[in-house]
A and B are shown apart, each in its own frame.
Chain A
Amino acid sequence: MGLDFSVVPSYFGLLLQGMGLTIAITTGAGILSFFGGIVFAVAALYAPMIIRLPMRGFAFLFMGTPLLLQLFLIYFGLIQFGIDLPAFVAGVIGLGLHFAVYNSELIQASILAVDKGQYEGARTLGLSRSQTLRRIIIPQAVRAVIPPMGNNMIALLKDSALVSVIGVMELTLAAQQAISRTYRPFEFYLAVAFCYYIINLALEAGLRHVERRIKASR
């Protein structure tokens, strides 16, 4: 059948829309995974047993099963509960929770690695345990794991392609729409791969910038 890239430009608008949604999903899920990671980490370390135990099980489950399967669960599972979420929201929640769990593991280790002297310095000034955690321990712990969390962000961007399977009109699904009209899968998937690659490069550059700024304040 051969290749004919000339069909691609006429679908730029569609692909651009898709890209916009990909960036939106990645950003939304990214933010959720960042703050979710902190919340889960603090809960995993400091919550009462009755919360910690189920959390360990939940984390185990989310790290031991494929993201795609989890997306199916969240999207269709919520419908079963009567919550009919738009696929976009289910996608952001699914991606966000998945990576929140991974980030939580990183942050937990980092919190435990903060020098004991930092606790002592803060408590000695009269700060309570929660004040110490909030203002002294967590900021340092999170700063220390920005690089690996950055890697998780990059993985998140690539995994955002999966939400096309539950019907979100991001880049991958946009490509599929174009393909259904032109019957040219190779050209469009290649174009889309290129788009992801560019967004990835931008994300990596952004992360390096953040890492450098954090180094400046150490």
Chain B
Amino acid sequence: MTTSAFVEIKNAAKSFGKLQVLKDINLTVERGQIVAIIGPSGSGKSTLLRAINELDPLSSGEVWLEGVQINRHLPPRQYEKHVNQVRQDIGMVFQHFNLFPHLTVRGNITLAPRMLKGLSEAEANTLAEEQLTKVGLLEKIDEYPSRLSGGQKQRVAIARALAMKPKVMLFDEATSALDPELVEEVNLVMKQLAEEHMTMIIVTHEMDFAASVCDRVLFMDQGVVVEEGPPSVIFQNPVEERTRNFLRKHLERNGN
């Protein structure tokens, strides 16, 4: 048990069948820190993120949230209750939004607070309006997701996650599925969250964004953390060869 570490991952390992995707990862995130995880596809970065809220539980290793360990070894029913409880404190935003198509935006945002935190309809509605105003989409509150653009859907998804007042927000390639002109509006919301000192772990391909927002950058490759440090170091003067290669290829591809 360490210090004021908000999220801590110790000796994380994960295999899918014979394929070992994570090999002994250690990660510590302080309260209010914003950490970016970059790396080629297959490096295990999404898997690591998804292990934090037990979406893809680790094969071995520990996950600690605010000094409490997520206990993977409970009997099934207790484990379920435990994990459901923990997940209320962790917000996640997906590459493909995963909004509920049969509910309006309002419905999407108020569902979990009403079901899990016992908010009344009025309280939930106020909460929804607050969160939507924050992401700049209040006027869409009674629309169905199918009527929204990609960027709008993702902002609603962020509002939905925020409505549960999480302690940490996980972003799994939140802008990778968006048309380029829609990326900025989502980045703005994320920047805003950063300014409000939300603890964030961001898996991303957007190096510029990572550089401008994050306190720390982790470069992962083939299941291990190759290098980590502040953006100024990682992006300007990476130590490791692999990091340099990855960044170079990325720059070539994006014509920066």
Contact = CB atoms under 8 A, between A and B. Distances in A.
A118 B111 CA distance: 14
Nearest to A215: B146
B98 A123 contact: no
Contacts of A126: 84-85, 87-88, 112, 116, 164
Given A125-B161, A125-B164, A126-B116, A140 B84 contact: no
A129 B146 CA distance: 25
Interface stretch (B12-20, B99-107, B194-202): B99-107
Contact of B80 (A124, A125, A129, A136): A129
B100 A127 contact: no
A190 B41 CA distance: 69
Contacts of B161: 124-125
Contacts of A131: 115
Given A124-B55, A125-B87, A127-B84, A218 B101 contact: yes
A136 B100 CA distance: 7
B171 to A, nearest CB: 12
A117 B94 contact: yes
A143 B102 CA distance: 9
A131 B99 CA distance: 16
Chain B binding surface, main DSSP class: mixed
A135 interface: yes
Given A124-B53, A126-B85, A118 B98 contact: yes
Interface residues of A, number: 21
Given A126-B116, A135-B115, A143-B102, A121 B94 contact: yes
Interface string A89-110: 0000000000000000000000
Interface string A108-138: 0000000101101111111111010001100
A135 to B, nearest CB: 7
A126 B84 CA distance: 4
B155 interface: no
A139 interface: yes
A218 B98 CA distance: 14
Contacts of B55: 120, 123-124
A168 B81 CA distance: 51
A70 B25 CA distance: 61
A115 B90 CA distance: 22
Contacts of B115: 127, 131, 135
A197 to B, nearest CB: 34
A217 interface: yes
A120 B80 contact: no
B92 interface: yes
Interface in B73-93: 80-81, 84-85, 87-88, 90-92
A127 B112 contact: yes
Contacts of A140: 100-102
Nearest to B170: A124
B242 interface: no
A128 B98 contact: no
A32 B45 CA distance: 48
Contact of A121 (B81, B90, B98, B102): B98
Contacts of B90: 124
B144 interface: yes
Contacts of A118: 98, 100
A125 B112 contact: yes
Nearest to B107: A135
A128 B83 CA distance: 9
Interface in B94-141: 94, 96-102, 111-112, 115-116
16 contacts: A115-B98, A118-B98, A118-B100, A121-B94, A121-B157, A122-B100, A123-B84, A124-B55, A124-B90, A125-B161, A126-B87, A126-B88, A126-B164, A217-B101, A218-B101, A218-B146
Interface of B: 53, 55, 80-81, 84-85, 87-88, 90-92, 94, 96-102, 111-112, 115-116, 144, 146, 157, 160-161, 164
Given A115-B98, A126-B164, A140-B102, 12 more contacts: A117-B94, A117-B97, A117-B98, A118-B100, A121-B157, A124-B53, A125-B87, A125-B164, A127-B115, A128-B80, A135-B115, A217-B102
Interface of A: 115, 117-118, 120-129, 131, 135-136, 139-140, 143, 217-218
